[in-house]
Amino acid sequence: MTTGPLDGVIVADFTRVLAGPYCTMLLGDMGAEVIKVERPGAGDDTRAWGPPYAPSGQSTYFASVNRNKNAVGIDLGTPGGVQAARDLIAGADIVIENFKVGTMERLGLDYANVSTDHPALIYCTISGFGSGAGRELPGYDLLVQAMGGLMSITGPGPGEPTKVGVALVDVITGLHATVGILAALHHRDATGQGQRIEVNLLSSLLSALVNQSSAYAGAGVVPGILGNAHPSIAPYEVYATADRPLIIAVGNDRQFASLAQALGAPGLADDVRYRTNPDRVANREDLKQELLALLALASADEWQERLTRAGVPCGPINDIAQAFALAERLGLAPIVDAGGTPTVAHPIGFGRTPATYRLPPPASP
């Protein structure tokens, strides 16, 4: 019986904290056998990142990215530990590491060394700023959010740059690493050749900034902070109602006409200031004031029902518990049991080879 689309693939996981462990957990969910290398007696840094802790005493941060793995304690500071790591790599299909740039070379565990006897090996390196001139810069998500421009477009307004509420750059980088590894597996199946993959947080963020980074690359525009507004679409932000905030996300002129009709002000769609999306963006503040005056006449729940019925994208601002409740109501089964530990479900649905939850996050080796 297979355990997923990656059944039979062995991963030697030399990663810690978030980007690398998230990648290897996704591979494990898809059936790969993941062997997580940790420092004896100390383990992954995130084992100590808490509170909160699960009833077992395990950090929920660690648990969030480490199910479907077996942990082994290897002291890479000793010759015996290096040999144990070399033996582990010799039996693996994939190696993933996010040590400080140069560490694996110093240990003789880098791709150039280990691929000589293992040419089919796929070897993924994750760093903060690449292996060139940025090799000495520490790869912490908060630093990359700041230095990579994300904070410059995030926050309540100009002069108030704000980090995202989760280590999003790490997560995006872990996803990019996963995509690269799966592509390399396909190439290896076709040619028998392995390869080295490099992923870094800064490049991942610049790619993930999509329209904002493209504004600079393609038009020389340096985006700024717009709070909850969108630089290229309106109305597309948070609006106060009679009782609490409501998100309205109008993506085209047809939806705006439906919004105007549902608000009881169909003339807004014919106003020369708001007729097209570029018009609405240019007159964003005037439009916002008109919408706020109308939205103040009813509650957020009332407006959500009316607008949704009219085909206008909208919704409340949920907390995390409410978000899980929504997913439950929609039948998405957001929480799964991984060997007795509740964890967040794998996000990809496979018609033939679904994700499996075979192992809980491992105890410290």
Per-residue model confidence as pLDDT tens digits over 314-331: 999 999 999 999 999 999
The amino acid occupying position 25 is M
Q: Give the angle subtended at the CA of 181 by the CAs of 28 and 85, to the nearest 5°.
A: 70
Query: Which tokens is 77 given?
Result: 């500071």
Residue located via tokens 């995030």: 154
Per-residue model confidence as pLDDT tens digits over 37-47: 999 988 899 99
Query: Is 243 one of the catalytic residues?
Result: no
The amino acid occupying position 82 is V
Q: How far apart are CA 55 and CA 79, in angstroms?
A: 38
Per-residue model confidence as pLDDT tens digits over 104-130: 999 999 999 999 999 999 999 999 999
Q: How far apart are CA 185 and CA 270, in angstroms?
A: 54
CATH superfamily of 10-208+335-344: Crotonobetainyl-coa:carnitine coa-transferase; domain 1 (3.40.50.10540)
Is 245 buried (19+), middle (13-18) or exposed (0-12) by CB count in 10 A? middle
Pair type for strands 236-239 and 195-200: unpaired
Going from the C-alpha of 192 to that of each of 6, 46, 344, the distances in angstroms are 17, 36, 35
Pair type for strands 94-97 and 69-73: unpaired
Domain 236-315 has CATH 3.30.1540.10: yes
Segment holding 343, helix H or strand E: strand 341-344
Q: Give the angle subtended at the CA of 94 by the CAs of 102 and 167, to the nearest 5°.
A: 65
Predicted confidence at residue 134, as pLDDT, reads 87
Q: How far apart are CA 184 and CA 197, in angstroms?
A: 8
- pLDDT(356) > 80: yes
Query: Which tokens is 253 given?
Result: 């002129």
Per-residue model confidence as pLDDT tens digits over 265-282: 999 999 999 999 999 999
Predicted confidence at residue 1, as pLDDT, reads 56
Cis amide prior to 278 (ω within 30 degrees): no
How large is the average pLDDT for residues 336-343? 93
Predicted confidence at residue 136, as pLDDT, reads 87
Query: Which tokens is 322 given?
Result: 């409410």
Write down the catalytic residue from 13, 141, 170, 337.
170
- pLDDT(2) > 80: no
Residues 6+ apart with CB under 8 A from 189: none
Q: What is the largest CA-CA distance in the chain?
A: 78
The amino acid occupying position 287 is L
Helix (H, G, I), strand (E, B) or coil at 335: strand
Predicted confidence at residue 16, as pLDDT, reads 95
Going through 205-331 in order, the beta strands assigned E by DSSP cover 236-239, 246-249, 314-315
Residue located via tokens 């084992």: 47
Query: Which tokens is 48 given?
Result: 């100590």
Find out whether 237 and 229 touch, Cβ atoms under 8 Å: yes
Q: How far apart are CA 65 and CA 14, in angstroms?
A: 14
What ranges do the domains of the chain cover?
10-208+335-344, 236-315
